[in-house]
Structures are given as C-alpha cells and as structure tokens.
C-alpha cells in the first residue's frame, strides 16, 4: 500500500506568509517520463532538466527521475550540470549551450560532457584536449535545418571523414517543427540525420525531442531527449495532450470586494463593469511569472485573442478582470454563490482544471514560458508516493 506524502520546500516565505503556492506532483512527472521512455524504445530516454528543470527544481526533479531509471540528463549550462551532479553523481550529463575555453578545467573535474556546435568550439576543444593524457568526451551538435546551434551537415560529414579527428560519444540534431508533424522541414531534417548516422556509424545518436518521440517517420536513433512533455506540456499541436498534469499554480485571495456597474477596474481603467460585480483580488502578478499578457483587457494581445486568462475556484472558471499587475490579479466571481469563497482561499491558475497550455495560449505564449517564468515567492509543495 502506498500513501501520498507531501514533502514541503519553502522558497521566499513559509506557507503562512506566501501569496501563492506551487504543487509539483513528482509521481506524475515520473509517470510521464516512463510513458515517454516506453514510446522511445528501443532508444534510451534521457531527461532535459535545463532552466532548473523547467522551473520545477533540479534538486527535487533529478533524484525522482534517477530513481525511476533515468541515467542521462541534458542541461543548458555547465553550472546547471554541476547541480545535477550534486544530486546524481553517477549521471551522464550533457551541456547544450556551447563551450567556452575557460570552462575546460571544470569539464575535466566534473565529468560533464559538452555539446560542441561550431568549428570554433571543435578547434578549442581539440587543442585543449591534446594536453591531457585522458581525453575528455564530447558530443557533436549538427544543424539540419534550425539555424540555431550546430555545425552544418557538410562540415559534419567532412569531420567524420578525417581520421585525425576525435570521435564524439554522441551525435545530435534538434527538430524545429516536430510539434507540427505535417511540416515539410521534418522530412528534410530526418533525411539529413540519416546521413549523419551513416557517417558516424557506431556512435550514439539523438534526434527526438518531446514531439519528435511521437513522430512515426523519424527513423532509428539511440537516445531521446524529452523535455516539456515530461513536465505535463503538450508535445503536439494537433492532438490531445496525453501527458499527466505535473504542476498546479494557485494564488491566494487577498480581498473580496464589490464594484458597481459603470465603474472601472485596475490600471488604465481598461475594464468597465457591465453589472455590479464581485471581485476576488489575488496575490499574484507578473513579478511571480504570471504574465501581464494574460490580462482580461488593456494589453495588445486582446485584439487578437479576445479572452484573457481565467482562474478556477469553487468548481467554476472565473475570468481575469482588467490588467495583471506586478503583485495582484483580479477575478470576476459574481456568478459564484456569495458564501462559496473567502479571503485566504486559493484560486487555481493552471493545473488539473486549467491546462498549462490553455493558460499559456490566453497569454499569447507557450507552456515552456509559463513554467520557466515561475517566480521565487511561491510556497512549493512536492508530492511523492512512498510505501507505508
């Protein structure tokens, strides 16, 4: 028999003092990773934990994934890699965001693996590595169509053909449009990737990000790199989200007040009340990563996306009134029973009742940005099942 045990981590304030709380379900996170790992087979599934595990905390996320069987992790920065190593010393950790020569000794001391993505980086790494008796491993990033990081396909094929060059331990590319499976660029990138697999035969390869794992035509590879889907985000733009919600964001009600018909609400007086309106003012705003663009009115996005963000409380969705401000956001609770909520109660901003990506769309963005923007003023609760 298992029981859900709540592990509490406080950031900024204890739960009695914080204006909002984040509940992070590590069981759901692990279940999502296991689902993606199964879908990746026969390839191994790694875990992308850059940006402090998409805002959820490397210190909590990585041990949960390690316990579930994940052995390879990707980070953006070497500093993040050191934090992964601190909680999972035996993990294999790749650093995505390039290599700077002054960091070479850190790689040698920490067992981190840089992902080299330019001729300049390859030259620096080779020059520094020749000074060592025990040569350090590296991964090679090849650009197959994204025009961000990576050497060109032609440069990669030339590199592979020269026997004087060291062999990478991993060859990878990144899909630009995998969330849109019909996009023509997918085919171009997959065809280029297959050329790389031939040129670097016997070397581990990686192409599949979260949406790539769902791409039937992607071909063979040895390592997938799930990211946002592991945290509950949508892997595909054209299909229902199969992932379990991982994060619930809630804001505490500071005050309930009544505005009269014809009065305005908030900065800029952008919302004029069409009726006498009960308003729940909540302790959350853009300083907490709840984006101003989610405002109910008074932001340019409302010209393109008519409806702003919503909250969920007492069994109902309630719309934002006026602008999201630095520390406060107002919701229209007129249609709720008068005694349904009180100051101190919590309004869900996304979670089980409001999908992460729906909240993001109302703000004109994507789930990635909402997760990685989460501020440090929330009280955080980590849920994990443990045996009695």
Closest CA to 223 of 184, 193, 179: 193
Give SS3 for 147: coil
| Cross-strand pairs, 141 | 172
| 175, 276: one domain | no
In Å, how far are 46, 60, 82, 107 from 86, measured between CA atoms? 18, 12, 6, 14
Contact of 195 with 153, CB cutoff 8 Å = yes
Closest residue by Cα to residue 227 from 8, 44, 63, 46: 46
Mean of pLDDT over the chain: 95
The neighbouring-strand residues paired with 163 are: none
- Count of structural domains within the chain: 2
Beta bridge partners of 112: none
> Can you give the CATH number for the domain in which 321 is found?
2.40.37.10
* CA proximity to 186, closest of 214, 164, 159: 214
Is 195 labeled as catalytic in the residue annotation?
no
Does a structural domain hold residue 383?
no
* pLDDT at position 270 over 80: yes
Residue 241 contacts residue 43 (beta carbons within 8 Å): no
115 and 170 share one domain:
yes
The gap between the terminal CA atoms of the chain, to the nearest Å, is 7
Query: Cα-flanking dihedrals φ and ψ of residue 22, to 5°?
Result: -115, 125
Cα separation, 80 vs 52, in Å, equals: 7
Torsion of CA 79, 80, 82, 84, to 10 degrees: 180
For residue 205, the SS3 value is strand
Q: What is the residue range of 206's domain? A: 26-231
Q: State residue 209's pLDDT score.
A: 97
One domain, residues 266 and 305? yes
- What pLDDT is stored for residue 15 in this prediction? 86
Q: What predicted TM-score, i.e. pTM, was given to this entire model?
A: 0.95
Q: Is residue 370 part of a domain?
A: no
251 and 227 share one domain: no
Q: Is 264 inside any structural domain?
A: yes
216 shares a domain with 70? yes
Of 73-77, 342-346, 381-385, the range with the lowest mean pLDDT is 381-385
**How far is the C-alpha of 116 from the C-alpha of 248, rounded, in Å?**
36
126, 167, 188, 267: the catalytic one is 267
Query: E strand or H helix at 94, and its extent?
Result: strand 92-95
38 is catalytic: no
Please tell me the distance from the alpha carbon of residue 142 to that of residue 128, in angstroms, as a whole number.
21
For residues 209 and 308, membership in a common domain is answered with: no
Within a domain: 372: no
Whether residues 179 and 212 share a domain: the answer is yes
Domain shared by 186 and 258, yes or no: no
Tens digit of pLDDT for each residue in 214-250? 998 899 999 999 999 999 999 998 899 999 999 999 9
Q: Which of 171, 158, 163, 157 lies closest to 203, judged by CA? A: 171
Instruction: Find out whether 63 and 88 touch, Cβ atoms under 8 Å.
Output: yes
pLDDT at residue 211 tops 90: yes
User: Is 11 domain-assigned?
Assistant: no
Among 9-18, 50-59, 288-297, 302-311, the minimum mean pLDDT is found in 9-18
Residues 220 and 262 in one domain: no
Q: What is the mean pLDDT of residues 353-368?
A: 97
Task: Note the pLDDT of residue 12.
Answer: 47
Q: Which of 205, 231, 257 is the last residue of a domain?
A: 231
SS3 134: coil
Same domain for 50 and 190, yes or no, is yes
Q: Is residue 191 part of a domain?
A: yes
Indicate the pLDDT class of residue 7, thresholds 50, 70 and 90.
low
Give the residue from 180, 200, 231 where a domain finishes: 231
Catalytic site residue from 39, 50, 167, 286: 50
Residue 107 forms part of a structural domain: yes
Task: Tell me the pLDDT band of 1, cut-offs 50, 70 and 90.
Answer: very low
Angle at 124 between CA 96 and CA 97, to 5 degrees: 15
Q: What is the CATH number of the domain that holds 118?
A: 3.20.20.10
The DSSP element (H or E) to which 250 belongs, if any, is strand 247-259
**Residues 176, 253 share a domain:** no
3-state secondary structure of 288: helix
pLDDT in tens, 88-122: 999 999 999 999 999 999 999 999 999 999 999 99
In a domain, 384, yes or no: no
Pick from 131-140, 243-252, 362-371: least confident: 131-140
Provide the pLDDT for residue 216: 87
User: How many whole angstroms separate alpha carbon 260 and alpha carbon 276?
Assistant: 4
Q: Are residues 45 and 191 in the same domain?
A: yes
């Amino acid at each position: 028999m298992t029981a859900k045990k709540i592990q509490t981590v406080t950031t900024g304030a204890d739960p009695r003092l914080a204006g909002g709380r984040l509940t992070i379900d590590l069981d759901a996170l692990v279940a999502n990773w296991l689902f993606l790992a199964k879908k990746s087979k026969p390839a191994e599934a790694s875990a992308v934990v850059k940006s402090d595990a998409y805002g959820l905390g490397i210190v909590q996320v990585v041990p949960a994934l390690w316990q579930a069987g994940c052995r390879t992790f990707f980070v953006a920065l070497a500093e993040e890699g050191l934090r992964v190593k601190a909680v999972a010393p035996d993990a294999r950790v790749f650093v995505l965001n390039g290599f700077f020569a002054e960091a070479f000794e850190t790689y040698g001391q920490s067992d981190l693996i840089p992902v080299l993505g330019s001729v300049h980086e390859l030259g620096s790494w080779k020059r520094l590595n020749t000074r060592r008796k025990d040569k350090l491993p590296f991964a090679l990033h090849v650009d197959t169509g994204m025009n961000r990081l990576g050497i060109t396909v032609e440069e990669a094929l030339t590199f592979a053909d020269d026997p004087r060059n060291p062999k990478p331990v991993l060859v990878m590319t990144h899909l630009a449009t995998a969330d849109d499976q019909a996009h023509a660029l997918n085919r171009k990138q997959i065809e280029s990737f297959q050329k790389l697999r031939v040129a670097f035969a016997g070397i581990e390869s990686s192409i599949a990000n979260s949406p790539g794992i769902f791409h039937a035509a992607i071909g063979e590879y040895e390592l997938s790199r799930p990211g946002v889907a592991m945290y509950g985000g949508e892997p595909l733009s054209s299909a229902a989200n199969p992932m379990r919600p991982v994060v619930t964001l809630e804001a505490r009600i500071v005050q309930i007040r009544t505005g009269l018909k014809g009065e305005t609400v908030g900065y800029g007086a952008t919302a004029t009340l069409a009726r006498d309106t009960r308003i729940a003012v909540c302790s959350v705003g853009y300083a907490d990563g709840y984006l101003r663009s989610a405002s109910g009115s008074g932001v340019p996005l409302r010209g393109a996306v008519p409806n702003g963000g919503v909250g969920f409380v007492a069994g109902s969705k309630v719309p934002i009134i006026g602008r999201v401000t630095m520390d406060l956001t107002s919701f229209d609770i007129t249609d709720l029973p008068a005694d349904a909520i009180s100051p101190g109660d919590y309004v869900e901003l996304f979670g089980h009742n409001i999908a992460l990506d729906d909240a993001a769309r109302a703000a004109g963005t994507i789930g990635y940005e909402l997760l990685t923007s989460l501020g440090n003023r929330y009280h955080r609760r980590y849920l994990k099942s443990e045996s009695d």
